[in-house]
Structure 1
Amino acid sequence: MYCLASSAFPSSHTTLLRNKLSPLLLRCNRSHQSLRLCRRNFQIRAMRAVIQRVSSSSVTVDGRIVSEIGPGLLVLIGIHESDTDADADYICRKVLNMRLFTNETTGRGWDQNVSSVNKNVSFFSQFTLYGFLKGNKPDFHVAMPPEKAKPFYASLVERFQRAYKPDAVQDGVFGAMMKVNLVNDGPVTMQLDSPQSSKNETKASTES
């Protein structure tokens, strides 16, 4: 293989060659970044929750309000295809114990969880939390399929109701086109993923 110094070409030829190669190199770089993003999403094997502290929230389906709360937490849940009851237990425990509220007695911030301040929780299934881009098109195939996700999500809501109190936990309509209105208090938004180590170990042992 021979390498020719740039001085072997007229400067005009060098500029022309550089102009032709630059778009190709840019496309290669973008493809590499997209591949790394895909690999990262394939490696994620967890239940995902996005928690927002709200002053109020409501959800409307077909022009009818189906869920409405005052101050509390709005929780968007993304269910991965590999999620189990262990993931649900973890998310339930962590969300209900997150200290996102101010202690009204002492004035200390980040001191109280939702049950300590007797606030409400509103749930919504959100499969788009497991979306990633293939080019410009979102792909959601790592989310749990709807026929499995619907009963799993229902059991998750029941788990929260048992762990807290039934009348303080509300949810939307699974699979429906919902309009969610909320007033984010702060704003405060947290993302929480369930642990992945046990799943990765199980996957590794299966593949071996």
Structure 2
Amino acid sequence: MRVVIMGGTSGIGLAAAERLTAAGAEVIVTGRDPEKLAAAKDRVAGAEQVDGASETDVAEFFERIGVIGHLVLAFSPGALGFGPLADVSLASIRGAFDGKLFPYLYAIQKADVTGSVTMISAATARAALPGSVALAAVNGAIERIVSPLAAELAPVRVNAVAPGAVDTAWWSFLPEEQRAAQFTAVAADLPAKRIGRPGDVANAIAYLIGADYVTGTVLPVDGGFTVA
């Protein structure tokens, strides 16, 4: 099984790469940071520098690697666009789309996939959280394209995973003490009573890759956040 994970050098993407590699898959990850790529090379079959926001980079990458079984899209612009709408510039909102939705679309256009496409959205797509307008817009757009893509690309399966709060570098914009306090407060309100780990989401990605009869689905992995 040959899998490409774009945005796979840290956080959820890297956890998925390690999970799938342990299961016997040939995993190729992409990213932009040379240091993270160098570290990832020891853990997966291949690691290549690709700017997901560059149509040229993406097209050249997929032309070079040829046919793959599964594509996982884990790009993240971080907390770009996070904050009350009155305080967020339209440029940062555009940047959030340019850093996630459009790279997903570029990759899907160019990849020669035979099995499945799995995208990472977020629970913010369906939550009424102040300060998350831009995140809701981007992740909501990703979730809305799952069904039409599943119909359009069939028999290739298309799904998404929607994580809640997960302990990754996404939260690095907060000082350590504030981040810990935020995690404690969020965990207290979750049915699962803890913050998510990258491995939790990686398990869901692995499930969707192997679930031959599941397509057009958005799978929440949020500790019960969306039902709390």
- TM-score (structure 1 length as normaliser): 0.30
- TM-score (structure 2 length as normaliser): 0.28
More strand by share: 1
If you compute each CA radius of gyration, which structure gives the higher value, 1 or 2? 1
More helix by share: 2
